Structure 1
Amino acid sequence: MRRPGSRPSPSASAAVGPGPALRLGIALLVAFAGGLICSLVRLPVPWLLGPMLALLAASKFIRIPLRWSGSLRNAGMIIVGYSIGMSFTYPLLAEMARQLPAMLLMTVLTLLVSVLFAVVLSRMGGLTFPTALTGCIPGGLSQMIVLAEEMDNADLTAVSLLQVTRLMMIVICVPLLAFSPLFHFGAGSAGPGALEEAAADVASWSGMFPNIFVFAVVAVISAWGGQKIKLPTAMMLGPVIGVAALHLSGFEAPALPSVLLNAAQFMIGGYVGLLLRPDSLSRKSLRTLALAVTTGAMLIAIAGGLAWLLAKLHPLSPQTSFLSLVPGGLDQMSLIAHEIGADMTIVAGYQLFRVLFIFFAVAPLLGWYLRRLQRKERLRSDRAGPAKA
């Protein structure tokens, strides 16, 4: 089965329209125009939101099926992974260890809220409970799709719609909220791992050499190794681990110029923009879409409330605590954290803990529960059959 949001194979596309190179070229131009416009009007994270919004709109009005290279997205992930890894220090690791109970508490509370939303969706949206549950758990689109595929009574289309709608809402709304006065409650510091304000802007190209060559090799090899051992978000997590280990060993990691981080935003934003196609939304249930938007908005609001609680428990800035708890992608939240001057490594730590917790603890338990539920329904159906006969 083809993954939702993926594009037809190059051979199939070439037979019915422009080749992959032309479709990629058009997508790059559209994405660049979107990033440039958002930058000129001073939107937050313009090179992430711009390409995403431009390609989302273009896929509705441009009849040519646009294409985005997975290699571009992977390159952006590696750059972000490097930026996170180079920010790790021994005081930061100690701080993250100290906050481990808070990470577990906030992750469990977020998952409980998601399960509650699943119960509501299954009753109000006419969805089966396995469909609603796999659609609401913030464990990543691909992982939840794989889990839903194992269920006979799970609607993959609805699962994709729920997951992607939440992701798109978070990526669009969270930067605007993080920049707003809503997240200036209380006092708090960014923590020991905070990036120096505008550090990437003052980083010089000459200051990157020669150390950047060593770190680039380590980042790429770590990304490849992460894929081989099937790490979640391997293209980012692998470089985070490899670069952090080398940096902590005493080998100094150079800061990246802002143009490289903008390029990473561009490469990731374009990929996200083509995940959801408006023409497919028109074929989905409007009720499911409305419920997906409603639950997505409520989840963001609840994350804001939990962020207030987290800022009371630990000396974190409001923006750092908010981005740490919003169930978005590790890459998107880290980029937004860098853009607004939040503590990118703390944000990455919380996001990574949630991803790993869901990957290693929740997903197996969820799979076991849904398969058990499926066996019970089959048994009930088998018993009902002879009774009717």
Structure 2
Amino acid sequence: MAKKRFVSFLLTLFIGLLGGFSFQVMHLPIPWLLGPMLFSLAGSRLWKSFTPYWPGALRDSAIIMVGYTIGLSFTMAALQQIGQQLLSMILLTAMVLLGAMGIGFLVSKAASIPFPTVLLGSIPGGLSQMLPLAEEIEGVDLTVVTFLQVSRLLMVIFFVPLLIFSPFFGLEGMQHAADLQKAAGSWNGLFPNILVYAVVCPACAILGKKVRFPSAFFLGPMISTILINLSGFAGPQLPSVLLNASQLMIGCYIGLLLKPEQLKNKLSITVLAFLSGIVLIGCSLGISYLLTRLHDVSLLTAFLGLSPGGMDQMGIIAKEVHADMSVVICYQLFRTLFIFLVVPSLIKFIFRSRLRGKTAEKAAG
């Protein structure tokens, strides 16, 4: 069994590398994230005799590297600027979530799927929080929730870079991959400071996981890096090879999450998931424009901060296009914490109130 799994891993790695090289040769945006993601997804669906395997530990290791890289971008001035935008974070995050709820209501009506199922599948950036919650609420279809969450995540990761690198954003988003290579560090510059971060970042990730901190493998390394870096112990930039490897490890993992064969009414749900994802991205773009009117941030930075994706993926894209990563991650972080701390209790209260109302109606009838 172990040998078979290792062979499956090597084949999956080969497919991911092929995707990364192909996207790089074609000069497509974020090649080492999107290429492996798309190729591993296609390979797992088209190659029937192939059972892909990608260890979760590799994805966790990659997220630790991403968290460290993004943590280096935070300065004291950036943190003070974020403190001034707290009210905007609350307002715009609420608008994004209300937009997702409205889209979820329309999808539930169009697909004749119970609203609780579609709502839990539509909350942006809440895959890890919504799946455990879905298991607790009676009548929720866990397969549909997973499909809606993963399909939205795939769409955001794929379409957001294409939109950013389109003429819509002009020269603001048209940064060549060579710029990222220049910004990356060298192998010689890693030591000795990297040794401290190599111990602290994984330790904080594991500790965060044990205390059930949201997105622990991302936030643990990021927060510890910010604290150590601001104390004066500078962290070195990672070489481009490691940055590309981290994107590949995340891309392959995400590409293998989608399992449409487990769905009932595959076609209708897939079409509605696609349309709702497009509408949600459009809503985020509109709300991003509002952020640019409230604060002195670029549309590129605002859009990445409010895009309905994950912090690690948006952080990778923000680094590639040289957006203000501190603003992007703080808005993404605020939404993640809001979803983790407030949304589950709110959803439980709403659904239990509806259930009690229906029970009372039946009793009265």
Give the TM-score normalised by the residue count of structure 1: 0.88
Give the match's secondary structure for 1:253: coil
Matched, 1:338 2:323: no
Partners of 1:208 and 1:256 within 8 A in 2: yes
1:115-264 alignment runs, 5 A limit: 115-184=101-170, 198=180, 201-264=183-246
Q: Displacement, 1:202?
A: 5.0
**Corresponding position of 1:44:** 29
Give the match's secondary structure for 1:207: coil
Matched, 1:292 2:292: no
Q: Displacement, 1:380?
A: 4.3
Partners of 2:260 and 2:266 within 8 A in 1: no
Give the Cα–Cα distance (whole angstroms) in 2 for the partners of residues 144 and 278 of structure 1: 19
Cα offsets for 1:222-258 (capped at 9, x unmatched): 1011101111111000001111111111111111111
**Corresponding position of 1:104:** 90
Give the match's secondary structure for 2:189: helix
Q: Identical aligned pairs, as a percentage? A: 45
Give the Cα–Cα distance (whole angstroms) in 2 for the partners of residues 136 and 266 of structure 1: 26
Q: Displacement, 1:200?
A: 5.5
Partners of 1:89 and 1:248 within 8 A in 2: yes
Partners of 1:55 and 1:274 within 8 A in 2: yes
2:304 to 323, 331, 336: 323
Unmatched tracts of structure 1, length 5 or more? 1-13, 189-196
Give the TM-score normalised by the residue count of structure 2: 0.93
**Corresponding position of 1:355:** 336
Q: Displacement, 1:131?
A: 1.1
Cα offsets for 1:21-63 (capped at 9, x unmatched): 1111110011011101001101100000010000010001222
Structure 2 CA distance for partners of 1:141 and 1:284, relative to 1, 3 Å: farther
Unmatched tracts of structure 2, length 5 or more? 174-178
* Code of the aligned partner of 2:280: L
Q: Displacement, 1:277?
A: 2.9
Give the match's secondary structure for 1:205: coil
Partners of 2:54 and 2:253 within 8 A in 1: yes
Partners of 2:143 and 2:262 within 8 A in 1: no
Q: Displacement, 1:199?
A: 7.1
Partners of 1:55 and 1:273 within 8 A in 2: yes
Give the Cα–Cα distance (whole angstroms) in 2 for the partners of residues 269 and 358 of structure 1: 24
**Corresponding position of 2:290:** 309
**Corresponding position of 1:277:** 259
Structure 2 CA distance for partners of 1:378 and 1:28, relative to 1, 3 Å: farther
Partners of 2:126 and 2:339 within 8 A in 1: no
Give the Cα–Cα distance (whole angstroms) in 1 for the partners of residues 148 and 13 of structure 2: 27
RMSD: 2.0
Q: Displacement, 1:378?
A: 4.2
Give the Cα–Cα distance (whole angstroms) in 2 for the partners of residues 48 and 275 of structure 1: 15
Q: Displacement, 1:88?
A: 1.3
Give the match's secondary structure for 1:206: coil
Q: Displacement, 1:352?
A: 0.7
Give the Cα–Cα distance (whole angstroms) in 1 for the partners of residues 359 and 14 of structure 2: 52
Cα offsets for 1:267-295 (capped at 9, x unmatched): 100100000035446x5432222111111
Partners of 1:131 and 1:159 within 8 A in 2: yes
Q: Displacement, 1:152?
A: 1.9
Give the Cα–Cα distance (whole angstroms) in 2 for the partners of residues 64 and 120 of structure 1: 37
**Corresponding position of 2:12:** 27
**Corresponding position of 1:83:** 69
